Structure 1
Amino acid sequence: MAAHRKLRARSLSGNTARTAATLALAGAATATAFDGTGHAEPRLTTAQVKTEVDRLYREAEAATEKYNGAHEKASAAQHRLNSLRDETARRQVRLDTARSALGSFAAAQYRDGTIAPSWQLALSSSPDRYLDGAAFAERAGDRQAKQVSRVRAQLREIERLRGAARVEARSVASRQAELKRQKDTVTAKLKQARQLLERLTPPERAKAADGAPTAPARATRSATGGRSAPTPVAPARVSSGRTSAPIGRATPAPDSRASAAVAYAYRKLGSPYVWGATGPNAFDCSGLIQAAYRSAGISLPRTTYAQINAGRRVSRSQLRPGDLVFFYSGISHVGMYVGNGRMIHAPNPSAPVRVAPIDQMPFAGATRVA
């Protein structure tokens, strides 16, 4: 009879239930993994990584130029604020001096007391001398009134300066907030690019970070015929250390200052790209251009979108060494034309300052500074 007893079903509870649930989830996860439907991050090819890294670098460079512009404006606003504060302090010193003089005059009057002019005339042993003194006192009173008026004007001017300083202080705070936003954007983009590159082997990483954009980014049209511009052949070069200069036939620079800027750019070949840097040992793209022309005695704006308007626009067919060449629709990258269809530029954090063909990026325009 015992053999025919039905086994009573036992309910799962407590630790037993939790253990069963854990095993079930583990089994489901294992089955999902074996079925190939897991959520593991897919393995990107070197070409895919390069395309994504190029995009991140372009976005970081655009944010870098906005950062550079915001930094320039923040510095100018801080300079104006400091000037206002200095001027307020100088005027406060003059006001304190004028107030002190007024206080001394008032104290002297109090000590001398006041006597009616008619009694002073009657009691005076020398009426003529008294009348001369009275006229002097009247003139002194006029000067005193003018001094009081000047003090009031100084008070109004100091209050105006303080109001302007408060407005400028708010501007500085706004500029600094914009700086932080752009810095955070640049940092995030560069971090994403670095993380992508770290997923590759060293040879793959070197290929993905060679500084030349991927094929879609290089697509461009010639200025005259609408056909793709051919990659020019590099001229023979003579090199000494990091300095390298072209030899052979080349279009001359328009003047000595452009020539000096080109020579500076050649001396900086191999320098690292650092966003926000303007030399002398590291550069971003617009920082290299600014430093090169600064060495030639020409002051240029800090950003690409300001540099493109810093000289006379020239067409691609008119390019001469020293001309500034700009790329992408947002004017986010700049190089210095050195002849034979090539430029010197600071590409990105994965590539140092180098010579490159100008047709490897979408051409946006050119400017002749000198």
Structure 2
Amino acid sequence: MASHRRPPQPGLVRAGRVTVLSAAAAAAAVTSALPAGAASHDSPADVRSKVEGLYEQAEQATQQFDAAREAEARLRGELDALRGESARTQQKVNDLRDSLGRVAGEQYRDGGIDPTLALLLTSDPGGYLDRAADLDRIASERAGQLRQLRAAQRVLDQERREAAGKLAELTRTRTELGAHKRTVLGKLGEARRLLGTLTAAQQASVGLGRADDGRTAFGGAVPDLPDLPAASGRAAEAVAAVRAALGMPYSWGSTGPTAFDCSGLMYWAYQHAGITLPRTSQEQLHAGQHVPLAEARPGDLVIYRGDASHVGMYVGGGKVIHAPYPGARVRYDPVNMLPVDAVVRP
């Protein structure tokens, strides 16, 4: 069942740019690979800042990848539908030509070349029909069939042009998919190399990965949340689903059931409630009514950063559940862990 989308409402409270990360991390934006060996001179704090920046860039590219993959699936379906229509139209053209051919053949055996036969023999039937000015010489029944044939041929030509356009668009989308995938893998690979310059103890102190996962069902106790009712029965079902995903690993491009990226987790949770959200966090920003952060209820989507590149689900008590970043698992975090862009109630 599709979700009911309503336009954003005024009065959105934008949270202060409070974050559980350091101020340096919030400002970090690594845009190019480091020279070989440079990372060895970075302190653990520097490594954390750079890795957080890389994770943010990887998440942005992941959302672009998700959008491109969604577009690819849509284009594939549209292309298949067009090909099916073209096949049916081609069969109609073939049937009309066969019918006209039989009539023309009979007339030819009786003597004379009928314009219908000339149509069948020409290499450009459309051009021939456009040049034909005197259909009165053709029996009225065959004249109607010829008009049908010309109309069907034009429909077929249009469907073929549309299919060619869809195919070209699909090819471009697949190229974009590859580019986004390379970007994600490049950023994650660079982050792994940076983390690899730290000792095990330093990695634990940096806390990017499983060592920082004490807020999952696997690594720690579930927080004692206040009994705040969800915004709706379906929102309550989505909350139950997202809590069941605690401890599952982050995996970019994934929508479950055993691994998720941030928007994939929201998509999966609401599917359990019978609501189909858009696939990406940028699209989920517009998937319902906007409410002030102070009025957030369990089941609301919390969209982060000005580019809406991250999303979590509010579950009460000032907490969200989200899929944080590669190497981490689905977990609880404070709602103000990152700059809040919007709170959306599907």
Identify the TM-score tier after normalising by the shorter chain: 0.7 to 0.9
Partner in structure 2 of residue 316 of structure 1? 293
Q: Secondary structure at the match of 1:188?
A: helix
Partner in structure 1 of residue 16 of structure 2? none
Q: Deviations over 1:86-114 (max 9, x none)?
A: 11111101111111111111111222347
- The equivalent position to 1:151 in structure 2, one of 133, 149, 152, is 149
Offset at 1:306? 0.6
CA contact (8 A) 1:322 1:336 kept: yes
Q: Secondary structure at the match of 1:361?
A: coil
Partner in structure 1 of residue 233 of structure 2? 256
Partner in structure 1 of residue 278 of structure 2? 301
Question: AA paired with 2:274?
Answer: G
Q: Secondary structure at the match of 1:359?
A: coil
Partner in structure 2 of residue 29 of structure 1? none
Partner in structure 2 of residue 359 of structure 1? 336
Partner in structure 1 of residue 309 of structure 2? 332
CA contact (8 A) 1:344 1:354 kept: yes
CA contact (8 A) 1:242 1:267 kept: no
Partner in structure 2 of residue 228 of structure 1? none
Partner in structure 2 of residue 16 of structure 1? none
Q: Which runs of 5+ in 1 are unaligned?
A: 1-38, 115-137, 215-233
- The equivalent position to 2:208 in structure 1, one of 184, 207, 210, is 210
CA contact (8 A) 1:244 1:267 kept: no
Structure 1 stretch displaced more, 202-211 or 80-89: 202-211
CA contact (8 A) 1:314 1:367 kept: yes
CA contact (8 A) 2:225 2:316 kept: no
- Partners in 2 of 1:74 and 1:142 — Cα distance? 48
Partner in structure 1 of residue 17 of structure 2? none
- Partners in 2 of 1:294 and 1:279 — Cα distance? 11
1:106–1:84 Cα change, 3 Å: same
Question: AA paired with 1:74?
Answer: E
CA contact (8 A) 1:336 1:344 kept: yes
- Partners in 2 of 1:61 and 1:208 — Cα distance? 19
- Partners in 1 of 2:221 and 2:287 — Cα distance? 27
Say whether 1:162 aligns with 2:160: yes
Offset at 1:43? 2.6
Q: CA RMSD in A?
A: 2.5
1:244–1:313 Cα change, 3 Å: farther
Which of the pair has the greater relative contact order for Cα pairs under 8 Å at 6+ separation? 2
CA contact (8 A) 1:244 1:266 kept: no
Offset at 1:211? 5.5
1:51-62 matched pairs, under 5 angstroms: 51-62=49-60
Partner in structure 2 of residue 349 of structure 1? 326
Partner in structure 2 of residue 193 of structure 1? 191
Q: Deviations over 1:181-222 (max 9, x none)?
A: 11111111000001111111223223324369x9xxxxxxxx
CA contact (8 A) 1:258 1:296 kept: yes
1:162–1:53 Cα change, 3 Å: same
Please report the TM-score for the alignment, with normalisation by the length of structure 2.
Answer: 0.77
Offset at 1:256? 1.0
Q: Deviations over 1:324-343 (max 9, x none)?
A: 00111111100000000000
CA contact (8 A) 2:287 2:344 kept: yes
Question: AA paired with 2:160?
Answer: R
Give aligned pairs, total: 283
Offset at 1:71? 1.4
- Partners in 2 of 1:107 and 1:73 — Cα distance? 50
Say whether 1:81 aligns with 2:79: yes
Offset at 1:297? 0.3
Bigger Rg, which one: 1
- Partners in 2 of 1:40 and 1:242 — Cα distance? 34
Indicate the percent of aligned positions where both proteins have the same amino acid: 40
1:297–1:274 Cα change, 3 Å: same
CA contact (8 A) 2:226 2:316 kept: no
Q: Deviations over 1:44-75 (max 9, x none)?
A: 22221111111100010011111111111222
Q: Secondary structure at the match of 1:279?
A: coil
Q: Which runs of 5+ in 2 are unaligned?
A: 1-35, 113-135
Q: Secondary structure at the match of 2:312?
A: strand
